[in-house]
């Protein structure tokens, strides 16, 4: 599948089949994350793959009781072990680096016939307690994953003319 086609097919899945994700597919998706770039090649991302039903239910509660979180057969808890590096541009590196790795996973998931949803509505301390994550580690996002039970809906996106200018700001 061409990359642009994968991007077009990727959407936030909020309903999953009960079907488990095959180990081989999950490993391929995690390899996609491992190959992501990071500032100064720090590779500060760490991923906890949660498939246990009881732990997924607990994470559902920590994620504002969003039912689809607990129903997804896989939840990847995306963390960073370095949270203080500031790039020259003034931005923290870790949220950007983890986001790049997450989108690598999301696009590879589409290639594998799976769907994902980024989840930012969660209580970090609750997630840390559930999973035994040490205090200095940051939980950046949760990524639910599985075989979609819903379907791709039309995406509303601004036209390029409204989001792109050339050479200088002209918007």
Query: What's the angle, vertex CA 89, arms to CA 85 and CA 91, rounded to 5?
Result: 45
In this prediction, residue 54 carries a pLDDT of 98
d(CA 73, CA 143): 11
Name the residue ranges covered by the structural domains of the chain. 3-163
In this prediction, residue 1 carries a pLDDT of 58
d(CA 75, CA 16): 12
pTM for this entry: 0.96
Span 19-73, pLDDT tens digits: 999 999 999 999 999 999 999 999 999 999 999 999 999 999 999 999 999 999 9
Span 108-139, pLDDT tens digits: 999 999 999 999 999 999 999 999 999 999 99
131 exposure class (CB count in 10 Å sphere: 0-12, 13-18, 19+): middle
CATH number of 3-163: 3.40.109.10
Helix and strand element counts for the chain (H, E): 7, 4
d(CA 116, CA 120): 13
Write the DSSP assignment of 66-92 as a string of letters: -HHHHHSSEEEEEEES----B-TTS-B
Query: What's the angle, vertex CA 87, arms to CA 86 and CA 92, rounded to 5?
Result: 45
């Amino acid at each position: 599948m061409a990359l642009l086609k994968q991007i077009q097919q990727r959407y936030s899945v909020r309903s999953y089949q009960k079907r488990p994700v095959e180990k081989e597919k999950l490993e391929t998706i995690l390899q996609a994350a491992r190959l992501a770039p990071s500032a100064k090649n720090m590779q500060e991302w760490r991923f906890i793959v949660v498939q246990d039903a009881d732990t997924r239910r607990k994470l559902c509660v920590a994620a504002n009781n969003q039912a689809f979180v607990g129903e997804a057969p896989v939840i990847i808890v995306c963390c960073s072990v370095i949270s203080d590096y500031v790039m020259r541009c003034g931005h923290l590196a870790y949220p950007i680096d983890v986001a790049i790795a997450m989108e690598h996973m999301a696009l590879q998931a589409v290639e594998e016939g799976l769907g994902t949803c980024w989840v930012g509505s969660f209580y970090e301390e609750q997630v840390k307690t559930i999973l035994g994550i040490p205090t200095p580690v940051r939980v950046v996002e949760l990524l639910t994953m599985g075989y979609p039970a819903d379907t791709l809906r039309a995406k509303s996106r601004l036209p390029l003319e409204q989001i792109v200018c050339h050479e200088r700001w002209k918007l």
